[in-house]
Amino acid sequence: MERPTSNGTAAGETSKAPAHHTTRRASRGSETSPHIELHDNTAGAAHDDEQDYRVYKRRFFGLAQLVLLNIMVSWDWLTFAAVSTTSADYFGVSESAINWLSTGFLFAFVPMTPLVIWILNKGGPKQSILAASLLALLGNWIRYAGTRSAAHGNFGVVMFGQLLIGFAQPFVLAAPTRYSNLWFSDAGRVSATAIASLANPLGGALGQLIGPLWATSESGIPSMVLYTAIISAIVTLPALFIPKEPLTPPSALAAAEKMDLRQALRQLPRNRSFYLLLLPFSVYVGFFNATSSLLNQILEPYGFSETEAGIAGGLLIIVGLIAAAIVSPFVDRTKNYLLTIKILVPLIAASYLALIFMPATRSVAGPYIVCAILGATSFSLLPCALEYLVVVTHPVSPEITSTICWSGGQLLGGIFIVIMNALRGGGRSGEPDGSMTRALVFQAVVACAVVPVPMWLGSRRLKRQDIILEESLQ
């Protein structure tokens, strides 16, 4: 076992809490809501000693692997979207077919949800990371084989490889809450979840930026896919060596016994707080995916160049990552999950409302500012909502709730892309051909309609219901 140093920050950072009875309640300032008690039901004099909680340096190795896999999988998602015209010419298909490489990737998340929940619950994050690594590795090299199987490639083989990578995504996208709960203390869980989860959109940004540099013409498509496959091999192989679990739990929450999977799935539908988070999480993740995928098509009819649209997309992600890096440590220290959620949700809806009017300004300032605000609020909300899910659904294991929420977000993302494409054009007179004003209005209306839902979180009625539900389970 790794020994802690004198300042308690090395291989094992230790803290003590009574093992006989550990209670976790929402404090007046933290607003972590519902009443939660973690009990050690073991009796006997031997348990009069205090319980040690310890964190290990090796936790950062597994976290780094999650970060790299999320970057890689998201990069794979937008490999062809960044060069859609060139890819369509190479494979001899329409750009709509190329778009389905991205949309199908999102839909692939949904059928894997039950398996992901089962593996994370029974095998832990290491088994989930191994499954994702295998699928991503196979998918990348099958895609490359598809680009080389004929003079202009075999699009069907490429789609099959893309779907395999889509199947890999839920194994790493749903793992951060489970991993941070298993390895990180109360003071670091939100930040760890943020780092691993927000690596996903960073990968998408890298794919959009680097793909056009590697595929400047049709002949560059196979090389672009080859380079991506080589990087995937480098990223996935270290997954074999990450540790499975710590020798000593990092916190009382991690040490507490989690519900059996069947029991958890019976209790979760009775938890109203879960639904109050599931709906806004799924809707806002879905719209963020749709906006990221369609941003160029939103701006292009008004005379914006692909470069200007790319900068707007870059601001959406980069400003979001910076904002999350500031907000997540703050939430870690204060535990103000609920207050943070109730502030950010209306700001996100307001951003989608403002986006309706930005393309018509025909000036880059408006879209840049709105995209920056949208990215900052969306990225800051993501890890906070995921960690608050752990709190309000305890003792349900965190991988169950996070996987369900991510599945809802990916499913709605694919649906929103299809709907918004169908709403293209047909707007008011004077609008340019291909205008997506109607799609933006649809997006804003739904985003605003969801705002009241999370405002019910933390209400007295819900708290009383949580206490009654918890007492019935003891």
Mean pLDDT of 242-254: 79
Q: Which of 308, 317, 297 is nearest to 437 (CA)?
A: 297
Structural contact between residues 48 and 242, judged by C-beta atoms closer than 8 angstroms: no
pLDDT-wise least confident of 118-122, 134-138, 293-297, 376-380: 293-297
Best-predicted range by mean pLDDT (8-12, 21-25, 196-200): 196-200
pLDDT level of residue 443 (50, 70, 90 thresholds): very high
For the stretch 372-388, pLDDT in tens is 999 999 999 988 888 88
Q: Strand pairing of 21-24 and 13-18?
A: unpaired
Structural contact between residues 264 and 123, judged by C-beta atoms closer than 8 angstroms: no
255 compared with 125, residue with greater pLDDT:
125
* For residue 16, pLDDT beyond 80: no
pTM: 0.75
Q: Which of 138, 350, 368, 393 is nearest to 259 (CA)?
A: 393
- pLDDT number for residue 4: 44
* For residue 120, pLDDT beyond 50: yes
- pLDDT number for residue 45: 38
pLDDT level of residue 95 (50, 70, 90 thresholds): confident
Q: Which domains are present in the chain?
A: 57-256 (1.20.1250.20), 260-474 (1.20.1250.20)
Q: Classify residue 325 by burial, with Cβ atoms within 10 Å: 0-12, 13-18, 19+.
A: middle
352 compared with 203, residue with greater pLDDT:
352
Mean pLDDT of 170-179: 88
Structural contact between residues 226 and 144, judged by C-beta atoms closer than 8 angstroms: yes
Q: Classify residue 101 by burial, with Cβ atoms within 10 Å: 0-12, 13-18, 19+.
A: buried
Widest pairwise Cα distance in the chain: 81
* For residue 35, pLDDT beyond 70: no
